[in-house]
Structure 1
Amino acid sequence: MVVGVGIGMLVWNRPIPRSVVIAAAGVALTIPSLAMLALLIPTFGLGWTPTVIALVMYSLLPIVRNTVVGLREVPPAVMESATGMGMNQFSVLLRIQLPIAWPIILTGVRVAAQLTIGIAAIAAYVAGPGLGSYIFQGLSSLGSVNALNFALTGTLGVVILALLVDALFVTITRYTTSRGLRA
Protein backbone atom coordinates (compact mmCIF):
# COMPACT_ATOMS: atom_id res chain seq x y z
CA MET A 1 0.00 0.00 0.00
CA VAL A 2 2.79 2.41 0.94
CA VAL A 3 4.66 1.74 -2.31
CA GLY A 4 1.57 1.96 -4.53
CA VAL A 5 0.11 5.09 -2.95
CA GLY A 6 3.56 6.71 -2.92
CA ILE A 7 4.08 6.02 -6.61
CA GLY A 8 0.57 7.23 -7.39
CA MET A 9 1.17 10.48 -5.49
CA LEU A 10 4.41 11.06 -7.42
CA VAL A 11 2.92 10.62 -10.90
CA TRP A 12 -0.76 11.62 -10.67
CA ASN A 13 -0.25 15.01 -12.34
CA ARG A 14 2.52 14.03 -14.80
CA PRO A 15 1.04 12.46 -17.95
CA ILE A 16 4.07 10.60 -19.32
CA PRO A 17 5.38 9.12 -16.03
CA ARG A 18 1.78 8.27 -15.08
CA SER A 19 1.26 6.35 -18.32
CA VAL A 20 4.59 4.55 -18.00
CA VAL A 21 3.98 3.51 -14.38
CA ILE A 22 0.44 2.28 -15.02
CA ALA A 23 1.52 0.41 -18.16
CA ALA A 24 4.46 -1.22 -16.34
CA ALA A 25 2.22 -2.29 -13.46
CA GLY A 26 -0.29 -3.64 -15.99
CA VAL A 27 2.41 -5.65 -17.76
CA ALA A 28 3.62 -7.06 -14.43
CA LEU A 29 0.06 -8.14 -13.65
CA THR A 30 -0.21 -10.07 -16.93
CA ILE A 31 2.72 -12.35 -16.05
CA PRO A 32 1.31 -15.62 -14.69
CA SER A 33 1.98 -15.89 -10.96
CA LEU A 34 3.78 -19.22 -11.16
CA ALA A 35 6.04 -17.82 -13.89
CA MET A 36 6.75 -14.69 -11.82
CA LEU A 37 7.69 -16.79 -8.81
CA ALA A 38 9.90 -19.00 -11.00
CA LEU A 39 11.68 -15.90 -12.35
CA LEU A 40 12.38 -14.67 -8.82
CA ILE A 41 13.76 -17.97 -7.48
CA PRO A 42 17.26 -17.75 -9.04
CA THR A 43 17.82 -14.33 -7.49
CA PHE A 44 16.01 -14.63 -4.16
CA GLY A 45 15.75 -18.37 -3.54
CA LEU A 46 12.70 -20.13 -2.13
CA GLY A 47 10.43 -18.94 0.66
CA TRP A 48 9.17 -15.60 1.86
CA THR A 49 11.33 -13.18 -0.16
CA PRO A 50 10.20 -14.07 -3.70
CA THR A 51 6.64 -14.42 -2.45
CA VAL A 52 6.55 -10.93 -0.93
CA ILE A 53 8.23 -9.35 -3.97
CA ALA A 54 5.76 -11.02 -6.35
CA LEU A 55 2.76 -10.03 -4.23
CA VAL A 56 3.92 -6.40 -4.04
CA MET A 57 4.36 -6.33 -7.82
CA TYR A 58 0.90 -7.80 -8.40
CA SER A 59 -0.77 -5.38 -6.00
CA LEU A 60 0.67 -2.23 -7.56
CA LEU A 61 -1.73 -1.79 -10.49
CA PRO A 62 -5.01 -1.42 -8.57
CA ILE A 63 -3.42 0.75 -5.88
CA VAL A 64 -1.50 3.05 -8.22
CA ARG A 65 -4.39 3.36 -10.66
CA ASN A 66 -6.93 4.17 -7.95
CA THR A 67 -4.56 6.64 -6.29
CA VAL A 68 -4.08 8.45 -9.60
CA VAL A 69 -7.81 8.42 -10.38
CA GLY A 70 -8.72 9.59 -6.87
CA LEU A 71 -6.25 12.48 -6.91
CA ARG A 72 -7.22 13.53 -10.45
CA GLU A 73 -10.94 13.52 -9.61
CA VAL A 74 -10.63 16.23 -6.97
CA PRO A 75 -12.35 19.27 -8.48
CA PRO A 76 -9.87 21.92 -9.66
CA ALA A 77 -11.99 24.62 -8.00
CA VAL A 78 -11.46 22.99 -4.61
CA MET A 79 -7.69 22.87 -5.11
CA GLU A 80 -7.66 26.44 -6.39
CA SER A 81 -9.61 27.57 -3.32
CA ALA A 82 -7.08 25.86 -1.05
CA THR A 83 -4.22 27.56 -2.90
CA GLY A 84 -6.07 30.87 -2.59
CA MET A 85 -6.27 30.31 1.17
CA GLY A 86 -2.47 30.20 1.27
CA MET A 87 -1.77 26.46 1.14
CA ASN A 88 1.27 25.28 -0.74
CA GLN A 89 1.10 22.35 -3.19
CA PHE A 90 2.16 19.79 -0.56
CA SER A 91 -0.47 21.01 1.93
CA VAL A 92 -3.16 20.88 -0.74
CA LEU A 93 -2.15 17.29 -1.51
CA LEU A 94 -2.13 16.15 2.12
CA ARG A 95 -5.04 18.16 3.54
CA ILE A 96 -7.42 18.41 0.58
CA GLN A 97 -6.73 15.88 -2.17
CA LEU A 98 -5.86 12.80 -0.12
CA PRO A 99 -8.92 13.01 2.17
CA ILE A 100 -11.22 13.46 -0.85
CA ALA A 101 -9.48 10.65 -2.78
CA TRP A 102 -9.29 8.33 0.26
CA PRO A 103 -12.37 6.18 -0.54
CA ILE A 104 -11.13 5.55 -4.08
CA ILE A 105 -7.61 4.76 -2.86
CA LEU A 106 -8.98 2.31 -0.28
CA THR A 107 -11.01 0.60 -2.99
CA GLY A 108 -7.77 -0.02 -4.89
CA VAL A 109 -6.16 -1.39 -1.74
CA ARG A 110 -9.20 -3.61 -1.18
CA VAL A 111 -8.95 -5.02 -4.71
CA ALA A 112 -5.19 -5.53 -4.29
CA ALA A 113 -5.74 -7.37 -1.01
CA GLN A 114 -8.19 -9.76 -2.62
CA LEU A 115 -5.82 -10.31 -5.53
CA THR A 116 -2.84 -11.04 -3.31
CA ILE A 117 -4.77 -13.49 -1.14
CA GLY A 118 -5.55 -15.56 -4.21
CA ILE A 119 -2.02 -15.36 -5.59
CA ALA A 120 -0.46 -16.12 -2.19
CA ALA A 121 -2.04 -19.57 -2.32
CA ILE A 122 0.09 -20.32 -5.40
CA ALA A 123 3.23 -19.17 -3.56
CA ALA A 124 3.21 -22.42 -1.59
CA TYR A 125 4.56 -24.03 -4.75
CA VAL A 126 7.88 -22.24 -4.16
CA ALA A 127 7.88 -22.85 -0.40
CA GLY A 128 6.16 -19.57 0.32
CA PRO A 129 3.84 -19.08 3.28
CA GLY A 130 0.11 -19.51 3.14
CA LEU A 131 -2.84 -21.82 2.92
CA GLY A 132 -1.75 -22.97 -0.52
CA SER A 133 0.42 -25.63 1.11
CA TYR A 134 -2.77 -27.50 2.09
CA ILE A 135 -4.09 -27.22 -1.46
CA PHE A 136 -0.86 -28.52 -3.00
CA GLN A 137 -0.58 -31.26 -0.37
CA GLY A 138 -4.08 -32.43 -1.28
CA LEU A 139 -3.39 -32.27 -5.01
CA SER A 140 -0.10 -34.14 -4.70
CA SER A 141 -1.73 -36.97 -2.78
CA LEU A 142 -4.78 -37.51 -4.99
CA GLY A 143 -6.30 -40.89 -4.36
CA SER A 144 -5.30 -41.01 -0.71
CA VAL A 145 -7.79 -40.85 2.12
CA ASN A 146 -7.18 -37.20 3.14
CA ALA A 147 -6.38 -35.65 -0.25
CA LEU A 148 -9.77 -34.02 -0.62
CA ASN A 149 -9.73 -32.85 3.00
CA PHE A 150 -6.39 -31.05 2.53
CA ALA A 151 -7.46 -29.43 -0.74
CA LEU A 152 -10.80 -28.29 0.69
CA THR A 153 -9.21 -27.02 3.89
CA GLY A 154 -6.79 -24.84 1.94
CA THR A 155 -9.43 -23.63 -0.51
CA LEU A 156 -12.00 -22.80 2.15
CA GLY A 157 -9.31 -21.14 4.23
CA VAL A 158 -8.40 -18.87 1.32
CA VAL A 159 -12.07 -18.04 0.66
CA ILE A 160 -12.80 -17.28 4.33
CA LEU A 161 -9.66 -15.17 4.65
CA ALA A 162 -10.61 -13.21 1.53
CA LEU A 163 -14.09 -12.55 2.89
CA LEU A 164 -12.73 -11.44 6.28
CA VAL A 165 -10.21 -9.09 4.68
CA ASP A 166 -12.92 -7.65 2.44
CA ALA A 167 -15.16 -7.03 5.46
CA LEU A 168 -12.23 -5.40 7.25
CA PHE A 169 -11.66 -2.99 4.36
CA VAL A 170 -15.36 -2.15 4.17
CA THR A 171 -15.24 -1.30 7.89
CA ILE A 172 -12.02 0.72 7.54
CA THR A 173 -13.51 2.66 4.62
CA ARG A 174 -16.67 3.38 6.58
CA TYR A 175 -14.87 4.69 9.66
CA THR A 176 -12.07 6.62 7.93
CA THR A 177 -14.11 8.40 5.26
CA SER A 178 -15.67 11.75 6.01
CA ARG A 179 -19.46 11.67 6.36
CA GLY A 180 -19.80 14.17 3.53
CA LEU A 181 -18.01 11.82 1.13
CA ARG A 182 -19.88 8.63 2.13
CA ALA A 183 -22.83 9.17 -0.19
Structure 2
Amino acid sequence: MWDFIVERRSQLLINGFNHVYLVFLAVVFATIIAVAIAILVTRLPKLEPVANAVSAIGLTIPSFALIGLLIPVSKIGDGTAIIAVTFYAVLPILRNAVVGLQGVSPTLLESAKGMGMSEFTSLYKVRIPMAWPVILAGIRVSTQMSMGIAAIAAYVLGPGLGTFIFTGLTGYGGANAFNNVFVATVAIIVLALILDLLLIILGRLTISKGIRVA
Protein backbone atom coordinates (compact mmCIF):
# COMPACT_ATOMS: atom_id res chain seq x y z
CA MET A 1 0.00 0.00 0.00
CA TRP A 2 2.75 2.44 1.01
CA ASP A 3 4.76 1.64 -2.12
CA PHE A 4 1.64 2.30 -4.19
CA ILE A 5 1.25 5.74 -2.61
CA VAL A 6 4.94 6.63 -2.99
CA GLU A 7 5.03 5.58 -6.64
CA ARG A 8 1.93 7.62 -7.49
CA ARG A 9 2.31 10.49 -5.04
CA SER A 10 2.60 13.13 -7.78
CA GLN A 11 -0.55 11.97 -9.54
CA LEU A 12 -2.37 11.65 -6.22
CA LEU A 13 -1.46 15.23 -5.31
CA ILE A 14 -2.51 16.56 -8.72
CA ASN A 15 -5.78 14.65 -8.71
CA GLY A 16 -6.43 15.60 -5.09
CA PHE A 17 -5.94 19.28 -5.91
CA ASN A 18 -8.20 19.00 -8.96
CA HIS A 19 -10.83 17.23 -6.88
CA VAL A 20 -10.87 20.02 -4.29
CA TYR A 21 -10.85 22.68 -7.01
CA LEU A 22 -13.83 21.07 -8.73
CA VAL A 23 -15.77 21.01 -5.46
CA PHE A 24 -14.71 24.57 -4.62
CA LEU A 25 -15.98 25.90 -7.95
CA ALA A 26 -19.21 23.91 -7.70
CA VAL A 27 -19.95 25.09 -4.16
CA VAL A 28 -19.20 28.73 -5.02
CA PHE A 29 -21.52 28.58 -8.03
CA ALA A 30 -24.11 26.71 -5.98
CA THR A 31 -24.01 29.28 -3.18
CA ILE A 32 -24.59 32.16 -5.59
CA ILE A 33 -27.46 30.33 -7.30
CA ALA A 34 -29.05 29.13 -4.04
CA VAL A 35 -28.91 32.50 -2.29
CA ALA A 36 -30.33 34.25 -5.36
CA ILE A 37 -33.25 31.79 -5.49
CA ALA A 38 -33.76 32.07 -1.73
CA ILE A 39 -33.97 35.86 -1.99
CA LEU A 40 -36.59 35.46 -4.71
CA VAL A 41 -38.53 33.00 -2.55
CA THR A 42 -38.58 35.41 0.40
CA ARG A 43 -39.94 38.10 -1.90
CA LEU A 44 -42.51 35.72 -3.40
CA PRO A 45 -43.56 33.30 -0.63
CA LYS A 46 -45.74 31.32 -3.06
CA LEU A 47 -42.53 29.95 -4.57
CA GLU A 48 -41.41 28.32 -1.30
CA PRO A 49 -43.26 24.99 -1.87
CA VAL A 50 -41.74 24.83 -5.34
CA ALA A 51 -38.22 25.45 -3.99
CA ASN A 52 -38.71 22.81 -1.29
CA ALA A 53 -40.04 20.31 -3.83
CA VAL A 54 -37.11 20.91 -6.16
CA SER A 55 -34.66 20.42 -3.27
CA ALA A 56 -36.33 17.17 -2.22
CA ILE A 57 -36.75 15.72 -5.71
CA GLY A 58 -33.31 16.81 -6.88
CA LEU A 59 -31.58 14.73 -4.21
CA THR A 60 -33.36 11.61 -5.42
CA ILE A 61 -31.94 11.82 -8.95
CA PRO A 62 -29.07 9.30 -9.32
CA SER A 63 -25.82 11.04 -10.22
CA PHE A 64 -25.14 8.71 -13.14
CA ALA A 65 -28.62 9.35 -14.52
CA LEU A 66 -28.03 13.11 -14.35
CA ILE A 67 -24.70 12.74 -16.16
CA GLY A 68 -26.41 10.65 -18.81
CA LEU A 69 -28.89 13.48 -19.38
CA LEU A 70 -26.13 16.11 -19.48
CA ILE A 71 -23.69 14.41 -21.87
CA PRO A 72 -25.75 15.10 -25.04
CA VAL A 73 -25.86 18.79 -24.08
CA SER A 74 -22.53 19.58 -22.40
CA LYS A 75 -20.50 16.67 -23.85
CA ILE A 76 -17.81 14.69 -22.05
CA GLY A 77 -15.33 16.72 -20.02
CA ASP A 78 -14.93 19.12 -17.13
CA GLY A 79 -18.04 21.11 -18.04
CA THR A 80 -20.39 18.20 -17.42
CA ALA A 81 -18.63 17.38 -14.15
CA ILE A 82 -18.98 20.96 -12.86
CA ILE A 83 -22.65 21.17 -13.85
CA ALA A 84 -23.49 17.85 -12.19
CA VAL A 85 -21.68 18.62 -8.92
CA THR A 86 -23.11 22.15 -8.84
CA PHE A 87 -26.63 20.79 -9.30
CA TYR A 88 -26.37 18.64 -6.19
CA ALA A 89 -24.45 21.30 -4.26
CA VAL A 90 -27.28 23.81 -4.72
CA LEU A 91 -29.92 21.71 -2.95
CA PRO A 92 -28.75 21.78 0.73
CA ILE A 93 -27.69 25.42 0.46
CA LEU A 94 -31.03 26.46 -1.06
CA ARG A 95 -33.03 24.88 1.73
CA ASN A 96 -30.88 26.50 4.42
CA ALA A 97 -30.79 29.85 2.67
CA VAL A 98 -34.59 29.99 2.51
CA VAL A 99 -34.88 29.08 6.21
CA GLY A 100 -32.16 31.54 7.19
CA LEU A 101 -33.58 34.51 5.28
CA GLN A 102 -37.11 33.82 6.47
CA GLY A 103 -35.86 33.61 10.05
CA VAL A 104 -34.58 37.17 10.16
CA SER A 105 -36.57 39.13 12.73
CA PRO A 106 -39.19 41.47 11.18
CA THR A 107 -38.29 43.96 13.93
CA LEU A 108 -34.74 44.20 12.61
CA LEU A 109 -36.03 44.75 9.09
CA GLU A 110 -38.40 47.46 10.27
CA SER A 111 -35.55 49.13 12.14
CA ALA A 112 -33.40 49.02 9.02
CA LYS A 113 -36.24 50.54 7.01
CA GLY A 114 -36.68 53.23 9.67
CA MET A 115 -32.99 54.10 9.35
CA GLY A 116 -33.56 54.80 5.68
CA MET A 117 -32.04 51.64 4.27
CA SER A 118 -33.20 50.59 0.82
CA GLU A 119 -34.30 47.02 0.14
CA PHE A 120 -30.92 46.23 -1.39
CA THR A 121 -28.96 47.79 1.48
CA SER A 122 -31.12 45.99 4.02
CA LEU A 123 -30.49 42.74 2.16
CA TYR A 124 -26.69 42.79 2.29
CA LYS A 125 -26.34 44.61 5.61
CA VAL A 126 -29.08 42.90 7.63
CA ARG A 127 -30.74 39.90 5.98
CA ILE A 128 -27.74 38.04 4.61
CA PRO A 129 -25.45 38.65 7.66
CA MET A 130 -28.20 37.44 10.02
CA ALA A 131 -28.95 34.41 7.84
CA TRP A 132 -25.28 33.63 7.20
CA PRO A 133 -24.83 31.07 10.03
CA VAL A 134 -27.69 28.97 8.63
CA ILE A 135 -26.48 29.42 5.05
CA LEU A 136 -22.95 28.41 6.06
CA ALA A 137 -24.29 25.28 7.71
CA GLY A 138 -25.87 24.40 4.36
CA ILE A 139 -22.58 25.11 2.60
CA ARG A 140 -20.79 22.72 4.96
CA VAL A 141 -23.29 19.94 4.23
CA SER A 142 -23.09 20.70 0.51
CA THR A 143 -19.29 20.59 0.51
CA GLN A 144 -19.14 17.21 2.24
CA MET A 145 -21.73 15.78 -0.13
CA SER A 146 -19.99 17.26 -3.16
CA MET A 147 -16.66 15.67 -2.24
CA GLY A 148 -18.26 12.26 -2.72
CA ILE A 149 -20.29 13.17 -5.78
CA ALA A 150 -17.23 14.72 -7.46
CA ALA A 151 -15.76 11.22 -7.79
CA ILE A 152 -18.17 10.62 -10.68
CA ALA A 153 -16.27 13.25 -12.68
CA ALA A 154 -13.96 10.48 -13.85
CA TYR A 155 -16.88 8.89 -15.69
CA VAL A 156 -16.95 11.88 -18.06
CA LEU A 157 -13.14 12.28 -18.10
CA GLY A 158 -13.34 15.07 -15.57
CA PRO A 159 -10.75 15.91 -12.89
CA GLY A 160 -10.35 14.45 -9.44
CA LEU A 161 -9.60 11.35 -7.43
CA GLY A 162 -12.46 9.48 -9.05
CA THR A 163 -9.98 8.47 -11.75
CA PHE A 164 -8.25 6.16 -9.27
CA ILE A 165 -11.57 4.72 -8.11
CA PHE A 166 -12.76 3.96 -11.64
CA THR A 167 -9.38 2.50 -12.53
CA GLY A 168 -9.62 0.18 -9.57
CA LEU A 169 -13.21 -0.83 -10.34
CA THR A 170 -12.54 -1.51 -14.02
CA GLY A 171 -9.44 -3.50 -13.13
CA TYR A 172 -11.17 -5.49 -10.39
CA GLY A 173 -9.06 -8.50 -9.49
CA GLY A 174 -5.86 -6.85 -10.66
CA ALA A 175 -2.78 -6.24 -8.53
CA ASN A 176 -3.58 -2.63 -7.63
CA ALA A 177 -7.36 -2.60 -7.97
CA PHE A 178 -7.97 -2.45 -4.23
CA ASN A 179 -5.16 0.06 -3.67
CA ASN A 180 -6.60 2.45 -6.26
CA VAL A 181 -10.05 2.42 -4.70
CA PHE A 182 -8.93 2.45 -1.06
CA VAL A 183 -6.29 5.19 -1.34
CA ALA A 184 -8.55 7.48 -3.37
CA THR A 185 -11.48 6.96 -0.98
CA VAL A 186 -9.38 7.70 2.10
CA ALA A 187 -7.90 10.76 0.37
CA ILE A 188 -11.40 12.08 -0.39
CA ILE A 189 -12.44 11.61 3.25
CA VAL A 190 -9.34 13.38 4.55
CA LEU A 191 -9.73 16.28 2.11
CA ALA A 192 -13.42 16.56 3.04
CA LEU A 193 -12.52 16.86 6.72
CA ILE A 194 -9.91 19.51 5.95
CA LEU A 195 -12.43 21.53 3.93
CA ASP A 196 -14.97 21.27 6.74
CA LEU A 197 -12.37 22.54 9.20
CA LEU A 198 -11.64 25.49 6.91
CA LEU A 199 -15.37 26.29 6.73
CA ILE A 200 -15.58 26.20 10.52
CA ILE A 201 -12.71 28.70 10.65
CA LEU A 202 -14.48 30.81 8.02
CA GLY A 203 -17.55 30.82 10.25
CA ARG A 204 -15.49 31.99 13.20
CA LEU A 205 -14.12 34.84 11.11
CA THR A 206 -17.36 35.92 9.44
CA ILE A 207 -20.07 35.34 12.06
CA SER A 208 -20.26 37.92 14.84
CA LYS A 209 -19.98 36.65 18.40
CA GLY A 210 -23.47 37.92 19.20
CA ILE A 211 -25.04 35.75 16.50
CA ARG A 212 -22.90 32.73 17.45
CA VAL A 213 -24.00 33.00 21.06
CA ALA A 214 -27.62 33.37 19.97
TM-score tier after normalising by the smaller chain length: over 0.9
* Mapped contact 1:5–1:67 kept (Cα < 8 A): yes
Paired residues, number? 183
* Mapped contact 1:37–1:123 kept (Cα < 8 A): no
Aligned to 1:40: 70
| TM-score (norm: length of structure 2) | 0.81
State the one-letter code of the partner of 2:178: L
- Partners of 1:94 and 1:43 in 2: CA distance: 36
SS of the residue corresponding to residue 172 of structure 2 reads coil
SS of the residue corresponding to residue 182 of structure 1 reads helix
Q: Report the aligned-residue RMSD.
A: 1.3
| TM-score (norm: length of structure 1) | 0.94
State the one-letter code of the partner of 1:93: L
SS of the residue corresponding to residue 86 of structure 2 reads helix
What's the CA shift string for 1:91-133, capped at 9, x where partnerless? 2111111111111111111111111111011221221211111
Q: Which runs of 4+ in 1 moved over 6 A?
A: none
Give 5+ residue unaligned stretches, structure 2: 1-30
Q: Which has the higher contact order (CA 8 A, sep 6+)?
A: 2
* Mapped contact 1:25–1:57 kept (Cα < 8 A): no
SS of the residue corresponding to residue 161 of structure 1 reads helix
Aligned to 2:148: 118
**Aligned-residue identity in percent:** 46
For residues 1-183 of structure 1, the aligned pairs below 5 Å read: 1-183=31-213
* Mapped contact 1:71–1:97 kept (Cα < 8 A): yes
* Mapped contact 2:78–2:156 kept (Cα < 8 A): no
- Partners of 2:39 and 2:150 in 1: CA distance: 27
State the one-letter code of the partner of 1:120: A
